[in-house]
Amino acid sequence: MDSDQTLYGGHWLQRQMDILLVFALYYIRFSTWKGQRMYLEDLLVTEAWRRKGIGTLLMDALIEEAKEKKFSGIAWQVLDWNESAIKFYEKYKPSFDPEWVNVAINF
């Protein structure tokens, strides 16, 4: 996979003939209690490329990168109705935290 990282985060892109196949965007998040963590802002596998193992390759690469950079873990959000994404993530045995509520101020 082609990758491009910056000091504060990075992204992974995989293209074939100028068509985006997969994409991941993350940044470094600092937690008072857990230290430096990777925050996975977005992970996309286009419809035509799902169920071919490419999402697993991407997630495994992100996990490896987080470990190499000595982050304390990876955090992300998933919508409760996105059952296919939840099923995909469950194989990594993450903790799903029902206590937190998303809060935002929009301008």
**Distance from C-alpha of 8 to C-alpha of 22, rounded to nearest angstrom:** 21
Handedness of CA 97, 26, 9, 107 (dihedral sign): negative
**Distance from C-alpha of 45 to C-alpha of 51, rounded to nearest angstrom:** 9
Enclosing H/E stretch for 33: none
- 8 A C-beta contact, residue 66 and residue 38: yes
Catalytic residues: 89
